[in-house]
Each structure stands twice: as structure tokens, then as C-alpha cells.
Amino acid sequence: MLQRILDQRYELEELIGGGGMADVYRAKDLLLNRPVAVKILHEQFKQDKEFIEKFQREAQAAARLSHPNIVNIYDVGVADGDHYIVMEYVPGRTLKDKIRQEGHLPVSEALRIAREIGEALAHAHANNLVHCDIKPHNILMMPDGHAKVADFGIARAVTESTMTYSGNVVGSVHYFSPEQAKGTMITPKSDVYSLGVVLYEMLTGKLPFTGETPVSIAVKHLQDEPVSVRQLDPSIPPVVEALVARAMSKDPALRPTSAEFVQEIQHAERMILTGGQPSVGMPADPDATQVLPRVQETRELPPRRMREQDDYEEEPHEEKSIFKSKKFIVGLLLVLLAGFFVGAFMSYGKFWSTAEVVVPDVTGKQMTLARQILEDKKLRVNVAETYNADVPAGQVVSQTPEGGTKVKEERLVTIYVSKGGEDVEMPDLTGMSKSDAEAQLKKMGLKLGSVYEKYSDEEAGTVIKQDPRAGSKISRGQSVDITVSKGKQTKKVSIPDVTGGSLSAAKSALQSRGLKVGNVTYESSRQAPGTVIRQSPASGEVEEGTSISLVVAQEAKTQVQKQDNKEPGKNTSQGENKVPVRQGETGKER
């Protein structure tokens, strides 16, 4: 149970819903003693003055609406820095919950709900208010089965989520109109398109367009035709199929107004009630699927008129050719002139007007809020998408012209909206050198982050670990950390002093320390042959496995041998006992 009372009047009781913009609480109006729903904006929107002003202005406008199929707005206020709207509390579930639980609705029930939504929209449109976010999530179902349209109060603010390109708001992109997908001006017929999508889903239990990303779904709204509802369910009457197709026309001019759509639904309900069906070749319903063929036939009329005129004008070939050439030149000049004026209007606004405005700086703002700010300045807006890992998805990265520029009214301003970082598959860097890994990351639009070192059995300088791991999804511009091998880890050992001992004793002493015997050289010495007289290194600490060079004493020539060499004929046998033993033996005499 929440213990909070807004403005000493609205006692919050339970959190019953929420989304990207606000949380909704069931509350009690202590003054009038009735249940109400209170919507409180999230913390991050408290400091955006432009957003708050528009939120309050449109909530107040919606409060003027009074219709049985619209959730009534009772109050708008601020308490402890929280901006809130108090509205009618509708017990029950949303239309989206109903579709999920029942799969699809009977045709008669789907038409009745669509008619009630259409009547609510017609009332709002008559009061110059466009909902902009019609979807089953915003349709509340009363316990008696009647529908109520919700979220009129922050309809424009909710579209800030509607066109966000993150996975959290994919639901809304399934319902918006082609003109919303393009970022162009929204009209009441945009609501009619969304209602057509809702009717499609009620009849079939499926969405007309799906995709892996919100952008791919938006493109389908612009380019693709949905699968016919009768193709998904042949039991749906043709007149209902025509209703859905007409409401979901790509061109707003081909869609009915909300009031006309209500009348068409009523007509379809009467036909179904009486069992009437359009006959083959003579459709009883004037809005059957012949709408598009008529458009195609209308486009073909000018060529037929030209052919009839050509047949009628029996002029000599030469004169006709000269006449056509002049006509072609004049026409070309007119087309070029018209193109100039159209281009000037599209790019620079009303060039015949002297009114100038300063382009607001909308970088960093959510896409729809930025668009509304620009439109309030009588500027037209074009929305383009761009990948940018440093700017959250849905926010404006840059704009053309830049903020602060003076332009004429109706100038086209292009805002570039971030789609976040472009996802790429993380490459496998293990086994590469540090420089090769860095080059590979740069090639894929990634950055080298922290570089760690670690002993391993791999060759020194080789990448042995990476974060994120290979094969995972990563956004362009993101940093990647790597760990590089330092080679095998070796320990330091002290060098023993092996001088004065035999060669075999020196080998044993070195090997016991994990050292090796390196080069062994011999030189004359007064020490006994076979004795280690020097070593290198002589002392200190070295890495395990280091080789130690040794110098060993060898047998030396005696003075007697030198004299024998000087006095030939002298009996040298007398000096045998004075000659040391051969090299390799001990220093003892025989």
C-alpha cells in the first residue's frame, strides 16, 4: 500500500501500469470520494521545460473532450516536482490483453469496438485534437464490453516513444501511419490508419507488418501491402475486407475521415446483420476493393485522351512534328520553372515570404519532441536515421540547418536521429598479435580498450583473451578489451658458487637449482686438474633454466719436462715420478 497523497487530495493506492513516459496508479479522490487513475511523469522529464509545457497544454485541451468512449481527464497538476494527470479509472483490461487471450474476435464484436473507437476519434478530431498513438494498448475495455480510448492527455508526448528506435517500444511502431514513419505532418487520417491496423489485428489475431527491427517495420508501412484479412480468414465478409483496406491506404487522401469510417462500419454491420453480400461483378458496397483499380484507371485517362486527339487531328506529318517540337520546348521550360519553384519551396520555404524564424537547436532531444518544437516555429521536418554509439537511440544527433540559423518560414529542417550503435558480430582475436587485433577492430568500426598482460604457454605478444567474447553482438564504436600473453612464467633462482670443486660436483649443484651447464673450457692452472676455477655468471639471481659457463683446470707441463727438452741424451726416466697424471684423473701421483 502506497502512503502518498498528491496535493492533499489524491491518495495513491496501487501501481497498475506504466511505460516509457509515465507510471499509472489507482488512487482515491478524497474530495469527491471516487476512484481515479493518476498518471505521473517519469523523473527524466521533470527538467525539460518545453516538454512539460506541451504536456500541460495538450492535457488541458484533452480535458475539454467529453465522450462516452473517451477516458475523461479530471485534473492536471504538479506536486513535489511531479507532473501528473488525473483521469477516469476504468476497471478491466486493455484491448491488447483481450486479443492475446482470445486470439481473434468475432467479426461483429470487432466492428462494434472499431466503431466505438472511431466515434471517439471523430469527436476528438472535431475538436482539433489528434491522438497520434492509437493502438490496442491504449484502448481500455469496460466490464460491459464497451471500449474507451485512453491517453489523449499526453498523446503527442507518447509519440516520443512511438518513434523511438529501441527494442523497448517496438509495439507502437506496428500501428503508426506511413506519414508518421516518414516523419511528415500528422493529420486526423493518421489516426484512421492506426484504427485500420487495430481492426486488422482484432479480425485476424495478427499484425499486418512485423520485422526484426522497428525501422524495418516502418519501411513496410511505407512500401508493402498487408496480406488481405480474407486471405488469413476466408469467413470475413468482403465488405469488411474493403473497410480495412481503405483505412490502411498508404495515401491519406484515399482514407476516409474518422466520421466517414464510422458510417462505413455501420453500413457493414447492417449488411452482415441482414445477411447481404456484394454480388459478383456489381459490388453492393461502393467502397469495395475497386478503390485501387479506379485510381489506376484514372491515371491511364490522359494517354487515352491524347490518343483520341491524335486520331482527330489529321495534320501533315511535317507540320505536326514542328508543332510538337515547339510544344516540347515550351513544356520543358514550364517544367524547369515549376521545378525551380518547387525546389525553392521544399528547401527554403516560402521564398516569396519575408517572415524569418530562428531554427531551434534540438540536438540531444527525443525525435518527436524535436519535431514538435520545429513545427511550432512553422518549420517543416524531415527525419533521417543514423548510427551513433554515443547518442541513445531515438535522440537527435545533428540537424540541418544548425540551431540558431535564420531561415524563412516553412523551411525544411532535417534532423538525424540516432539508431544507437550498429550491431556487428564480435570477431575472434585470439591468436593474433596486438597490432593485428587492433587493425581488425578498427576495420570493423570498433575501438581497442584496455590491454592486459598475463603469463601463458602462448608466445609472448599473442592475444589470449578478449571481452566481449567472439560471436557476441557489439555496437560499432564500442571498446574491446584484450589480454596479451607475456610468455611462460619463469622464477628467479640464486647462482651457487661451484668453484674449487670438481666438474661433476658443479653440474649436480647447478642442476639442483634448475640451472644448466653452459660452455666448459679448460686452461692451465696450479689447481688440481678437473677443478672448477671460474664460473659465469659468478653470483646473483637469474631465471630458472639459465646456462652457467665453467672454466676447469687442466694438466700443466712441469719444469723437468722443459729441461729435458733443452738437454738431449739426458735420462728422463728419473723424472717420471715428478710428472702429474694425465688430464681427467685425480691430482695424486702414481
Phi-psi region of 190 (alpha: psi -120 to 50; beta: other; left: phi over 0): alpha
Q: What is the dihedral of CA 216, 222, 223, 226, to 10 degrees?
A: 90
Report yes or no: 513 and 496 within 8 Å, Cβ to Cβ: yes
Q: Which three cell numbers stand for residue 300?
A: 491511364
Q: How many CA atoms lie within 13 A of 94 on its CB side?
A: 16
Block residue for cell numbers 592475444: 463
Contact status, residue 152 vs residue 61, Cβ threshold 8 Å: no
Cα separation, 107 vs 229, in Å, equals: 11
H-assigned helices in 417-486? 434-443
CA distance 230 to 228: 5
CB-CB neighbours of 217 under 10 Å: 21
- Cell (9 digits) for 432: 593474433
87 close to 35: Cβ distance less than 8 angstroms: no
Largest CA distance in the chain: 154
Active-site annotation, residues? 133
Q: Which residues, listed in sequence order, are joined to residue 83 by a DSSP beta bridge?
A: 78
CA distances from 286 to 203, 230, 267 (A): 21, 18, 11
Cell numbers 528547401: residue: 347
Look at residue 112 and give its three-state secondary structure: helix
The C-alpha atoms of residue 586 and residue 579 are separated, in whole angstroms, by 13
CB 121 within 8 A of CB 134: yes
Q: Where are the beta strands (DSSP E) in 468-544?
A: 473-475, 479-485, 492-494, 516-524, 532-536, 541-543
Tell me the C-alpha to C-alpha distance, in Å, between residue 271 and each of 77, 184, 267.
48, 37, 6
Helices (H) and strands (E) in the chain, counts: 17, 24
Q: What angle do CA 12, 14, 18 make, to 5 degrees?
A: 100
With beta carbons less than 8 A apart as the criterion, state whether 33 and 65 touch: no
24, 42 Cβ separation under 8 angstroms: no
Residues 6 or more apart whose CB falls under 8 angstroms from that of 367 comprise 160, 163, 164, 183, 383, 394, 395, 396, 415, 417
Residue in the structure block whose three cell numbers are 688430464: 583
The three cell numbers of residue 557 are 707441463
CA distance 132 to 443: 42
